[in-house]
Amino acid sequence: MTQKIVVVGSCMIDFTCFSPRLPKPGETIIGTKFEKKYGGKGANQCVASAKLGGSTALVASLGCDTFAQEYLEILKKENVDTSHVKIQKDKHSGIAHITVAEDGQNTIVIVLGANESLNREHVDSAVDVIKGASVLLCQFETPLETTLHALRLHQGHGLSIVNGAPAVENLDPEILKLCDIFCVNETEAEIMTGIQPVELSNVQQVADKLLAKGCNAIILTLGPLGAVYASKANRNVMLIPATEVQPVDTTGAGDAFLGAFAYFKAYHPQLSMDECIRRACVVATQSVLKFGTHASFPTISDLPADLFEDK
């Protein structure tokens, strides 16, 4: 079966310790809570699409460990096609070691592990599913040359979206030219353009700089303010506002947005760009009302019925 949405990206396991404060160098302190979560931008975005009912496939690498087996079961329960998730025998799964203090400060150390082994040959083995995708979605938590190869294979076969996260200051311009839509948040836009801080008053300047780098179209997500869109065809930025809510946990909201945006472009292609972005903002807003990533991503039953109408 052809998958409408194919994600080439990362899987990560998050180990989070909560403590009264961050420890000083060389200091041991007693924490208050520990959590293990399954994340990674690639897998998160794929699950977000799948929870809306999208037919999805993930092209990714996991390590030879118990975390990989647990993650595969989670993905299968969300109806994600995992036939192109490869277990790397000589690697551990990608992990993030996170410490969160009571005042909200945190320290994060990421070890990419098996994600670094997602290579051209791995992508080539999934060539049929990539070329058959209505939407290809990529990020930067795996090697950039792999992302570039996936974009080349998919070119002319559907819509391609690249999430420029984590931000890369001097990015290969071919990636920007090959993808149909390039999406970043404010922080990532600041790193890529040198404009600081990014805010509503200068989003046109940000869009102009990104388009000048070779982007065909850009989406700049602005958290609770919504998102802006601009393209080579119409360089004037369009603001699509989001509904204001009191967030519980904003973790993964950007992934919820991208997964939802990919879903609406794949399943409701007749909708305008601004309408797809508006609906993706609704999904992202819903996700911040619950804790976690996968657990916070809404399903169709959690959302208004008119969000899935073709008008």
Q: Is residue 154 part of a domain?
A: yes
Q: How many CB atoms lie within 10 A of CB 91?
A: 19
Cα separation, 103 vs 125, whole angstroms: 46
Q: What are phi and psi of 293, to 5 degrees?
A: -110, -80
Q: How many CB atoms lie within 10 A of CB 271?
A: 17
Cα separation, 304 vs 248, whole angstroms: 20
Cis peptide before 298 (omega within 30 of 0): no
What are the pLDDT tens digits along the chain (311 aa)?
456 999 999 999 989 899 999 999 999 999 999 999 999 999 999 999 999 999 999 999 999 999 999 999 999 999 999 999 999 999 999 998 989 888 878 888 889 999 999 999 999 999 999 999 999 999 999 999 999 999 999 999 999 999 999 999 889 999 999 999 999 999 999 999 999 999 999 999 999 999 999 999 999 999 999 999 999 999 999 999 999 999 888 888 999 999 999 999 999 999 999 999 999 999 999 999 988 889 999 999 999 999 999 87
Q: Are 8 and 59 in contact (CB under 8 A)?
A: yes
Instruction: Report the pLDDT value the prediction gives residue 2, as an integer from 0 to 100.
Output: 59
CATH code of the domain in which 69 resides = 3.40.1190.20
Q: What are phi and psi of 139, to 5 degrees?
A: -140, -170
Instruction: Report the pLDDT value the prediction gives residue 42, as an integer from 0 to 100.
Output: 97
DSSP one-letter code for 55: -
Q: Is residue 97 part of a domain?
A: yes
Cα separation, 30 vs 163, whole angstroms: 37
Q: Among all chains, which residue has been given the structure tokens 């058959």?
A: 132
Q: Is residue 205 part of a domain?
A: yes
C-alpha pair distances (Å), 137 with each of 153, 154, 193, 279, 293: 13, 10, 22, 18, 18
Q: b/e map of 64-79 (b: 16 or more CB within 10 Å)? A: ebebbeebbebbeebe
Instruction: Report the pLDDT value the prediction gives residue 1, as an integer from 0 to 100.
Output: 43
Q: What are phi and psi of 61, to 5 degrees?
A: -125, 135
Instruction: Report the pLDDT value the prediction gives residue 48, as an integer from 0 to 100.
Output: 98
Helix 253-267 / helix 273-287 crossing angle, nearest 10 deg:
140
Instruction: Report the pLDDT value the prediction gives residue 245, as an integer from 0 to 100.
Output: 92
Helix 253-267 / helix 41-51 crossing angle, nearest 10 deg:
50
Q: Is residue 280 part of a domain?
A: yes
Number of structural domains (the chain) is: 1
In degrees to the nearest 10, what's the CA dihedral of 190, 60, 282, 297?
A: -120
Instruction: Report the pLDDT value the prediction gives residue 196, as an integer from 0 to 100.
Output: 94
Q: Is residue 307 part of a domain?
A: no
Active site residues: 255
Cα separation, 194 vs 206, whole angstroms: 9
Q: Is residue 40 part of a domain?
A: yes
Q: Is residue 304 part of a domain?
A: no
Q: Is residue 42 part of a domain?
A: yes
pTM comes to 0.94
Cα separation, 31 vs 253, whole angstroms: 27
Domain that holds residue 131: 5-19+32-297
